Amino acid sequence: MSNPHKGRTGLDRIRRAAGYSWAGLRGAYQAESAFRQEFWLAVVLLPLGIWLGQSWVERALLLGSVMLVLVVELLNSAIEAVVDRVGFELHHLSGRAKDMGSAAVLLSLLTCGGIWAAALWQRLLA
C-alpha cells in the first residue's frame, strides 16, 4: 500500500511541508510551557548573540546553540506526544523514552549555557 502523501512534488510539497512545520511550531508553543519559555529566551538571546559574537564563527556558535535547544525541545515534545498517544499507563519503556528526551533537552541547555558563559567571559572579563 502506498502513502498518498508521498506523491507530492515541487512547490506543492514545499508549501504543504511549510504548513506542517508551522503547525508543529504553533502546537509546541501552545501546548508546551518549556517551549514557550525557551522561545522567549531565544527572542532575547539571538540578537544578543549577534552583538556578543566577535566573528562569524562565534555568532554561529551562540545562535546555533540557542536554536539547538529549541530543536531538541521540539523533538522531546514529539517523543512525549507519541508515548502519550500509545497510552497513559505506566510502562518502563515509556518512562525511559520520556526520560531520555528530557536528558537530551538538559544536555542541549548545558551546551548552550557553556558556550554563552565562555563567550561572556571572553567579551566582558578577559
Q: Report the distance separating Cα 31 and Cα 86, nearest Å.
A: 18
- Using one digit for the tens of pLDDT, what is the confidence trace for 13-42? 999 999 999 999 999 999 999 999 999 999
Residue 16 CB partners (closer than 8 Å, separation 6+): 8
Model pLDDT, residue 110: 98
Residue 109 CB partners (closer than 8 Å, separation 6+): 69
Task: Please tell me which residue in 32, 38, 58, 73 is annotated as part of the active site.
Answer: 73
38 catalytically annotated = no
Q: Report the distance separating Cα 9 and Cα 96, nearest Å.
A: 38
Q: In which band, very low, low, confident or very high, does the pLDDT at 2 lie, cut at 50, 70 and 90? A: low
Q: Report the distance separating Cα 97 and Cα 84, nearest Å.
A: 11
Indicate the SS3 state at residue 89. Answer: coil
Indicate the SS3 state at residue 22. Answer: helix
Model pLDDT, residue 5: 61
Query: 82 with 118: CB under 8 angstroms?
Result: no
Predicted confidence (pLDDT) at residue 92 exceeds the cutoff of 70: yes
